[in-house]
Structure formats: C-alpha cells, structure tokens
Amino acid sequence: MSASLADRMKRVLRADVQGLHGYAVQPSAGMVKVDTMENPFPLPPALRQQLGARLAEVALNRYPAERGDVLRAELAKHAQMPTGCDIMLGNGSDELISLLTLAADVPGNVILAPLPGFVMYELSAKLQGLRFVGVPTTADFQLDAPAMLAAIREHQPAVVWLAYPNNPTANLWDDGAIDAIIEAAPGLVVMDEAYQPFASRDSLARLQRHEHVLLMRTMSKFGLAGVRIGYLIGRAPLIHELDKLRPPFNISVLNCEAALFALEHTDEYERQAAVIRCERARIFEALRALPGVQPFPSEANMVLVRVPDAAAIFAGMKARQVLVKNVSGLHPLLANCLRITVGTPEENTQMLAAFEAALKDTTA
C-alpha cells in the first residue's frame, strides 16, 4: 500500500517548515485597503497610456538581458550610489533578505535585529537554519542601545538588520544608537530603507563611511508594489559575492521596463509622496484628538496607533469596509496596536470615520 500524502510530507519536508505559519494576506475586495503600506495613487491616465504602449514593445519571447543592467545603472543614479559600490537587484526586498541570509549560512552564525520589526528577517533566518536573536526596543519603540550592544558582544552576529524607518512602528532610530551598533558589529549591518521616500533622513553617509554597511531599498513604497523591484547597495567586492546567489533572470522584462519608466517620471512619484506625508500628519492629529487613543510619530507611509481594544476596533472598522492591520499579536510591546497605511485623502476620511465609529462602539 502506498504511503498517504500526509506521511510523504512528514518524511520528505522539513519539520520546522511544517510548523511555520505562512505570511498572511488579508482578503480586501470591496474594502478601503489601508493595511499593507502601498502607495494608494495610480499613475495619471496619460502616463498609464504611455506605459502600456511601452510595455507592448517588450520582447516577451526573450529572457531578460541588458535592460537589467540599464535599470541597475538608473537606480544607482537615483540613489546617489557612492564610488566603489555596486548594486544588486531583487524580486522585491524579500528576495534580497533571503539571499543575504543564504550567503551568511555558516554554522554558528547569528542574525540579529530589534523587535518588533519586519517579520522576514526572523523568518528568513529560521528557514535557513540560522539562529535569530531579537532585541526588544524600549516601550516607546526606540532602540535599546545598551541591550543591542550587549547582544552584539554576546552573539557576535553575522548580520544586523536595522529598518530605517522601522516596520511596523514607523519611526526612525536614534542616530547615535545606530552609529554605536555599526561600530560594534563584527559582521554586516543592513540599513533597510523601504520607506525612505517618506522619511526625513537616510543612511547614505553611513554607507560611504563603513565598508560593512549595506543599504537596501525597494520601489514598492515608491509606488510600484506590484512590480517587485528591490535593490541592495554595498561595496563592490561584497555585492559581487552576494550576486552569485541571485537567480539569473529574477527580474522580468515587464517589471524592469515598468521600473525604468517610473524612474523617468520621478516628479510624479515625488508629488504623490508629498501628499502622503501631508495626509500622514492629518491622520496623526485626528487620532491624537480621540480619547484613549495613542498614535506614535511616523516617518513612513503608515501610522501605528494604540487603542483600548485592538481586536474590537479592527472588527468594527472591517464591518464598515475599512481594512487595517491588527499587529497586537506580533510582539508584547505592540499590545492593542493597529497599523494604518496612509491612503488617498478620500480613503483617509473614510478610515477616520470608521475608526471613530468603531471606537465609540467599544466604549458604549
């Protein structure tokens, strides 16, 4: 008698993989979708027509080739890549996180990051069989510099991840704490700047000063979440080694051409980012005025807010066709916290109305 599928899976699949929870994406049809930090603005109609005509000329029968090199060069210019550095493309930042973790898969190596933080740092480490050390932030989501430095001394991490701004807390870390961590780190330090278009500071100077610092960015928050383009910048010899792990055709010709088109129209995306920053301030002030509600300062395109009952308010907003992210179960420091993406002005007005109504329901 042949083995059942369950028996086969138990025998051939890693037990730790079978015990993991997959990355969950909430159904959002018909909702005001403010749960995944996307840019809410489509391109204007004229630019959409131009992009469609351009994509129609792409050779879909050919593997991606030189256009990827053109995109690397254009992104290097866009990011003001320093001399002596090189750039590596990923199918979103997630692929780059996975590849860098794979490159660091040496017995005994440790991956370290502050918590709460982006879940893919820990997940990628676990999938690669590496030990992950999470260091809790302070209660107001600042880096606990003494704890981080103590963990670096104890664990000698191969890679330290620092999201700047952080996800899901949306704040920038203290510059002095970051610099102390970089000086103490025995391995690589990756500054993950996924939300750089909305932040008041970046880490370009750190990349210039330190050979072991890498800078990771994405075009997802720029406005191309559906295109999946991430990029990693670091010293050329280091990028040369990491790039050996990249699948040869990981960026499709359509994605590449769409990204090049976007870089030719940065003025439109900068205009959109300015609106998002303005709306972020409006949301923050509106939430701060509500009783029992504590929004946290944001340098990203989202606002983290602590409420009296996260589950009830999440459910109340969802019943009113507004979808946010309940992050209260991700870490003890996030107790009763919701994460709200900044939408269009109209979406934000709907979101705030649903939030206030759901809040009233919980206190009625």
Last residue of a domain, one of 264, 287, 312: 264
**214: part of which helix (H) or strand (E)?**
strand 213-218
User: Cα dist. 146→44, 102, 176 in Å?
Assistant: 48, 29, 12
Is 52 inside a domain boundary? Answer: no
CATH of the domain at 77: 3.40.640.10
- Asked whether the beta carbons of 182 and 154 are under 8 A apart, the reply is no
Do 125 and 80 share a structural domain? yes
Do 76 and 198 share a structural domain? yes
- The model carries a pTM of 0.93
- 354/364 Cα distance (integer angstroms): 15
- Asked whether the beta carbons of 172 and 178 are under 8 A apart, the reply is no
Do 201 and 90 share a structural domain? yes
Last residue of a domain, one of 225, 242, 264: 264
Do 275 and 332 share a structural domain? yes
Is 319 inside a domain boundary? Answer: yes
Instruction: Return the percentage of the chain with pLDDT > 90, whole number.
Output: 87
pLDDT value, residue 8: 85
- Asked if pLDDT for residue 332 goes beyond 90, the answer is yes
Do 278 and 175 share a structural domain? no
Lowest mean pLDDT of 13-22, 50-59, 130-139, 163-172, name the range: 13-22
Do 151 and 29 share a structural domain? no
- Asked whether the beta carbons of 92 and 218 are under 8 A apart, the reply is yes
Do 18 and 166 share a structural domain? no
Q: How confident is the model at residue 305 (pLDDT cuts 50, 70, 90)?
A: very high
Do 221 and 82 share a structural domain? yes
The total number of structural domains that make up the chain: 2
- 231/18 Cα distance (integer angstroms): 30
Is 54 inside a domain boundary? Answer: no
**Tokens linked to 169:** 């807390």
Q: What is the mean pLDDT of the chain?
A: 94
Do 280 and 250 share a structural domain? no
Is 53 inside a domain boundary? Answer: no
- Asked if pLDDT for residue 51 goes beyond 60, the answer is yes
Is 49 inside a domain boundary? Answer: no
Do 221 and 72 share a structural domain? yes
Domain that holds residue 274: 5-44+267-363
Q: How confident is the model at residue 336 (pLDDT cuts 50, 70, 90)?
A: very high
Closest CA to 90 of 216, 221, 279, 240: 216
Residues near 91 by beta carbon (within 8 Å), at least 6 away in sequence: 228, 229, 230, 250, 251, 255
Is 160 inside a domain boundary? Answer: yes
CATH of the domain at 11: 3.90.1150.10
Do 122 and 223 share a structural domain? yes
Task: Report how far Cα 356 is from the mean position of its chain's Cα atoms.
Answer: 28
Arithmetic mean of pLDDT, 6-11 = 87
Last residue of a domain, one of 199, 230, 264: 264
Residues near 316 by beta carbon (within 8 Å), at least 6 away in sequence: 354, 357, 358, 359, 361, 362
Rg of the chain over Cα atoms, rounded to whole angstroms, equals 21
| Per-residue pLDDT tens over the stretch 97-132 | 999 999 999 999 999 999 999 999 999 999 999 999
Residue type, 347: E
**Tokens linked to 189:** 């330090």
| CA dihedral for 122, 151, 129, 19, sign (positive or negative) | negative
Do 244 and 126 share a structural domain? yes
pLDDT value, residue 127: 92
| Per-residue pLDDT tens over the stretch 53-62 | 999 999 999 9
- 147/215 Cα distance (integer angstroms): 23
pLDDT value, residue 2: 67
